[in-house]
Structure 1
Amino acid sequence: MARRDYEDDPDAPKANSLVPAASAVVVDSAGRILLQRRADNGMWALPGGAMHIGESLPDCAVRETREETGYDVEIIGIVGTYTNPRHVFAYDDGEVRQEFSICFLARPVGGHLAVSEESTDVQWFEATEVDALPMVPSIRKRVNDWRDGNVPAAR
C-alpha cells in the first residue's frame, strides 16, 4: 500500500489514527548501519513498523527487522521516542496515521541479508555514507540521533 509522509506541512490531511510502532538502528561490529529501500516510497529507511496485539515494542522491532531485512537482532538500547503530532502518514486506503514510534538500538545476531515485499534493497552503510541517501526527515532524525552520539554504540 502506498503512503505519503507529511511533516510540519500545513496542507497535510488530518490524522484519523494513532498506531504504536517501532524501528531499529541496527549496527554491526564494524559500526555500519543496516538500511532498507522502501518499496512504497523509494526512500532509504530503518526497518520498522506497527506493533501487533500481543507483542511488546522491542518484540515489534525485532520482528520487523527480521521481516524486512532477513536479520535477527538483539535490542541493546533506545535511540529515542518520536511522537511529533505534526508528522502524519497518509495511506491510499484513507488512513492518516499520526507518528508514534520508539526507535531501538540493535545488533545483528543471525540471519542473512534479504529483501521483502516491503523493500527493494537492503544494505549495510558506513555512517559517513548515509548523508547522500534519499530519506524522509523523520528517519534521518533517528539516524542522526544515533550517529551524532546521542546513544551508545553497538558492542
Structure 2
Amino acid sequence: MVANYIHDLREFVGSRPLVMAGAGVIVRNEADELLLQLRADTKDWGLPGGSMEPGESLEDTAKRELFEETGLHAEGFRFLRMCSGPEFYARYPNGDEVYNVISVYEAHSVSGEFAMLDGESLDLRYFALDDLPELNHITQKMLSGLLIP
C-alpha cells in the first residue's frame, strides 16, 4: 500500500520535499457534474487520486486510487494531461512537502456505490461545473483549461 511506501520514505528523509508521481481522476455523472472529494488531511475539495506505488503504471494508480478513495470502478481511462512544476508543490498540515508529477485521467463507464475505504476522504459529492466549491490549488491547476476557465 502506498501509505507504507511513503511512510518508509519519510523515515529516511523526514518532511523534506519529495518528487512524487501520481494520478488524478476526473469522474462525471450523467448530469455532467464533477465528482470531488473533501480531503481528510487538508480539509479542502479536490479530485480523487494519489501517489503511484512501486511497480504500478500511472493508469493503474488512477484505477486503484479511484476505488480506494470513492469505492467506484471505471472500465476505462483517457489520459488528458501531465502536470508538473512549482505550481504543483504542496506542503501538508503534518509538514511533509512534495513536488507532484500528476497524470490526469478521465474515467469512463463508472459504476459502484460511494465508499470511502482509505480514510482519505471526509465527503464525496458531485458538483455542477458552474457551482464548484473552492478547490485546492493543485486541483484548480489540473482542471484549468480542461473543465474550468
User: TM-score by structure 2 length?
Assistant: 0.78
Residue 121 of structure 1: aligned partner: 123
Q: How does 1:90-101 map to 2 (within 5 A)?
A: 90-91=91-92, 95-101=96-102
Gaps of 5+ in 1: 2-13, 150-155
Q: Distance in 1 between matches of 2:77 and 2:62?
A: 12
| Residue 40 (structure 1) shift | 0.8
What does 1:103-122 correspond to in 2, within 5 Å?
A: 103-116=104-117, 117-122=119-124
Q: Which moved more, 1:109-118 or 1:16-25?
A: 109-118
Question: Mean Cα displacement is larger for which, 102-111 or 58-67?
Answer: 102-111
Q: Write the distance in 2 (CA, Å) between the matches of 1:30 and 1:67.
A: 24
Give the letter for the 2:137 counterpart.
P
Maintained 8 Å contact 2:70/2:124: yes
Distance apart, 1:145 and its partner CA: 2.9
- Is the 2:26–2:105 contact (alpha carbons within 8 Å) kept by the matching residues of 1? yes
Instruction: Give the 3-state SS of the residue equivalent to 1:61 in structure 2.
Output: helix
Matches within 5 A, 1:59-74: 59-74=60-75
The one-letter code matched in structure 1 to 2:142 is R
Name the CA shift for 1:93/1:126 in 2 (closer, same or farther; >3 Å).
closer
1:145 is matched with: 145
Q: CA separation in 2, counterparts of 1:84 and 1:102? A: 13
State whether residues 21 and 101 of structure 1, in contact with CA within 8 Å, keep that contact through their aligned partners in structure 2: yes
Deviation at 1:81, TM superposition (A): 1.1
> RMSD between aligned alpha carbons?
2.4
Identity of aligned residues (%): 30
1:17 aligns with 2:18: yes
Name the TM-score, length of structure 1 as normaliser. Answer: 0.76
Distance 1:148 1:53, change over 3 A: same
Aligned to 1:83: 84
Kindly tell me the number of residue pairs found equivalent between the two proteins.
Answer: 135
Structure 2 residue aligned with 1:136: 136
Say yes or no: does 1:30 pair with 2:24: no
Q: Deviations over 1:16-74 (max 9, x none)?
A: 31111101011123212111100111111100000011211011011101110111123
CA contact (8 A) 2:74 2:109 kept: yes
| Aligned residue in 2 for 1:49 | 50
Of the structure 1 ranges 28-37 and 138-147, higher mean CA displacement relative to structure 2 is found in: 138-147
Judged with a 3 Å threshold, the aligned counterparts in structure 2 of structure 1 residues 94 and 146 are, in CA distance, closer, same or farther, namely same
Between 77-86 and 34-43, report the one with greater CA deviation: 77-86
Larger helix percent = 2
Q: Distance in 2 between matches of 1:148 and 1:92?
A: 27
